[in-house]
Amino acid sequence: FFEVSSGASIRGSMTLLDRVLWTSVLVVFVSGLFNFIIHYVLGLQHLTCLGGLGTVKPLVEHQFARDVSYVFSVTQQLEKMTTKYQLVEVFAHAYLGNILVIDQSVQITEKDEANYHEMMVHVPLAYMPKAKKVLMIGGGDGGAVFRALQHDHIEHAALVDIDMRTMREISRKYFSMLYQAYTDPRTVAYSFDGAEWLEDQLADEANHGTYELIMADTTDYGAASSLFTDHFYAGLKRLMHPETSILVLNVDSPSWNMDTVIGVQRQLSTMFKYAYIYHTHQPTFLSGHYSFLFASNNIDPMTAPIDWSEWHRKKIPTYYYTPEIHYASFMLPAMVSRHLTMSGRLSSVTTFP
């Protein structure tokens, strides 16, 4: 009896195992068929980031040169508008906050825009504690101008953006902190193509030598072709203060677009005595690595003294920038520095914080 019962139990167990096995096979088959239909028949990608069908489609930024995509599981599309100049979108994200996207390229997020804007502004202004006038070409979100106006010695900020009215409204609705650049009485905003505005300014010699800091912040290096020519840079140079002035450009990722970074540095080194690349960590940009170019005829960022007591006097709240980060940003990876005409060296630094 024991053996019969045991045998019956074994046969019953085998039947149960067979059912489990076949059920598992069926589940795998159905899952594979479902994914095939979704990905190849319906063309829906990144389904796992959707949280199921019927939810908000994820924001996907694709870097074609490297064939890499970043996927943001956004909770809502807050804005989408096609202007005369660009496609502007704003998305909400649970961790990153609001995300500004222009022509399908992430520009800023509330979470880490400070990494970018603080480095673009505080690095050059640390050398010029008495600077009074700044010029921003592009940067219509207001982030860089907002940071510049945190320096109490700045008396005038000119902001020139080809789609300024759109960007001002986007900033007002979704990036209220940056919008303070527009409400500050020291700001004068121009809705102009940067290259055309520059030619208009240069026509009046009274404008020559006006600005201590000039920044060019474009959506993508190479996209606005009129802003990346020797003629344009030469024009900006004529607007720079002859004794103390700096030009800062946003460039590209040193990790993924090294040729662009090298090319820009070499181009500007033929026009300025000092042309240094400095970099920052930008987690929400493709590669997470970004760079700027520091150009000047009278300020060498490695040897020019910085009055750090003056920096601390201002008590500017920062999220990313510190005096230590300031110098560290000029120290570049060997894969980049070996190809540049000049690059930062720690041994050159004369004033530590």
SS3 of residue 53 by DSSP:
coil
Quote the tokens at residue 323.
């005096």
pTM of the model: 0.82
Residues 113-348, CATH architecture: 3-Layer(aba) Sandwich (3.40)
Radius of gyration in angstroms for the set of CA atoms belonging to the chain, rounded to a whole number: 27
CATH 3.40.50.150 location in the chain: 113-348
Whether domain 47-109 has CATH 3.40.50.2000: no
Which is higher by pLDDT, 70 or 266? 266
Q: Using alpha carbons, select from 264, 274, 288, 324 the residue that is nearest to residue 123.
A: 324
User: pLDDT tens for residues 79-136?
Assistant: 999 999 999 999 999 999 999 999 989 999 999 999 999 999 999 999 999 999 999 9
Q: Output the CA torsion sign for 113, 118, 180, 311.
A: positive
The helix-helix angle for 194-202 and 230-239 (nearest 10°) equals 50
Q: What is the 3-state secondary structure (H, E, C) of 246-278?
A: EEEEECCCCCCCHHHHHHHHHHHHCCCCEEEEE
Stretch (H or E) spanning 289: strand 289-296
CA distances from 201 to 71, 137, 170, 190, 239 (A): 42, 13, 27, 12, 8
Residue 144 identity: A
CATH 2.30.140.10 location in the chain: 47-109
CA gap 26, 48 in Å, rounded? 21
First to last CA, the chain: 89
User: pLDDT tens for residues 229-275?
Assistant: 899 999 999 999 999 999 999 999 999 999 999 999 999 999 999 99
Quote the tokens at residue 153.
């010695």
Judged against a pLDDT cut of 70, whether residue 3 lies above it is answered with no
CA gap 25, 27 in Å, rounded? 5
Q: Using alpha carbons, select from 51, 68, 50 the residue that is nearest to residue 59.
A: 50
Q: What percentage of the chain exceeds 90 in pLDDT?
A: 72
Mean pLDDT, the chain, integer: 86
- Residues carrying an active site annotation: 217
User: pLDDT tens for residues 270-319?
Assistant: 999 999 999 999 999 988 999 999 999 999 999 999 999 999 999 999 99
Residue-level pLDDT at 310? 96
User: pLDDT tens for residues 5-59?
Assistant: 334 444 445 566 667 677 776 766 766 666 555 444 444 443 333 343 345 678 8
Judged against a pLDDT cut of 90, whether residue 350 lies above it is answered with no
CA gap 33, 208 in Å, rounded? 68
Residue-level pLDDT at 37? 56
**CA atoms within a 13 Å half-sphere pointing along the CA-CB vector of 259:** 2
